[in-house]
Amino acid sequence: MINLLDIRYVRLGTRDRAAADRFAREVVGLQPTRDEGGALYYRSDARDHTLVYFDGNPRDHTVGFELRTAAELEAAGAALSDAGLVVHAGTSDECEQRRVHSFINFRDPTGNSIDLVLRPHHNGPRYFPSRDAGITGFSHVGLCSTDPARDERFWTGVLGARVSDRIGEAPLLRIDEVHHKVALFATDRAGVQHINHQVAGIDDLMRSWYLLQQRGVRIVFGPGRHPTSGAMFLYFEGPDGMVYEYSTGVRTITASEEATYQPRQFPARPESFCLWGAVPEIAEFQRSDAAAT
């Protein structure tokens, strides 16, 4: 069984790096760190980078996860090959781009591109944002799934994730104590469905809610509170239709709860996404809604 230590980064293609750069810095509030080899790198916490925009197809997305040891990375490659997947070992150039010692890449059954990385760089100087959105760090992604039940089996059976809750058929998956680091939402394509950054508190969410509206950024869901994770949230639209999320107050499932924790089934309804009554304008959340009715 593969044991994912944490999520590390998202890499996104774009045809308009200037627009993506403005959005990452001025709207999301990330810290630009490098413009290198056709790619822009951003920090959101103590990691070298957590977001990359590179010149390329806007549908080309990769999510990176860290493993603990070289032996685990080697075993992961073997396990994925045994599961019938094509595993690519990162070249030295690709490792340099990612600021990792080594990595492998594969695609999950939907076709989502996943890096498993070893010894990713940390960054000593503290994160200094472009604007103070209150970001405390990159935390999770929603992934597209053409068959959430099948992909849940893969993510739990091969990658060692655990189901924290389900909304309809969409599983919210944890790899550590945080309620979810990955969620799988039904749709007809592969790729990242949303990108989450944690913020320090509700004041940050609400300040961003007003600021984003003033700047003409489309709010697609919230402010609201997820009944699943307990987190308060705000979702908004970024370049190439990517959905970004700020949230705060996510619950944890501690080591002492782990043995007895039972995932809860939430019905596929808007109330399962928001306790306060916000209705998502996010296709995959609406589609989860339609799937069960």
Sites of contact with Fe ion (CB under 5 A): 196, 245
Residues 6+ apart with CB under 8 A from 14: 20, 53, 54, 55, 56, 58, 239, 240
Phi/psi at 275 (nearest 5 deg)?
Answer: -70, -30
**Distance between CA 287 and CA 145 in Å, rounded?**
12
Distance CA 78, CA 15 (A): 35
- Of 7 and 80, nearer to Fe ion (C-beta) is 7
CB-nearest residue to Fe ion? 196
Q: Is 198 left (phi over 0), alpha (psi -120 to 50) or beta?
A: beta
How far apart are CB 152 and Fe ion at their closest, in Å? Answer: 17
The minimum distance between CB 96 and Fe ion, in angstroms, equals 31
Q: How far is the CB of 30 from Fe ion (least distance, A)?
A: 17
- d(C-alpha 269, C-alpha 198), whole Å: 25
Closest approach of Fe ion to the CB of residue 226, in Å: 8
Comparing CB distances to Fe ion, the nearer of 40 and 172 is: 172
Output 21 or 289, the one with its CB closest to Fe ion.
289
Q: Dihedral angle at the C-alpha atoms of 165, 170, 174, 180, nearest 10 degrees?
A: -90
How many residues are listed for the chain in this entry?
293
CB of 164 to Fe ion, least distance (A): 12
Q: Nearer Cβ to Fe ion, position 116 or 282? A: 282
Between 152 and 245, name the residue whose CB sits nearer to Fe ion. 245
Rounded to a whole number of angstroms, the minimum distance from the CB of residue 205 to Fe ion is 13
- Residue 166 backbone phi and psi in degrees, to 5: -130, 140
- Least distance from C-beta 140 to Fe ion, angstroms? 6
Three-state SS sequence of 202-240? HHHHHHHHHHHHHCCCCEEEEEEECCCCCCEEEEEECHH
Q: Which is nearer to Fe ion, 45 or 245 (CB)?
A: 245
Judged by beta carbon, residue 23 or residue 273, the one nearer Fe ion is: 273
63 contacts 175 by C-beta, under 8 angstroms: no
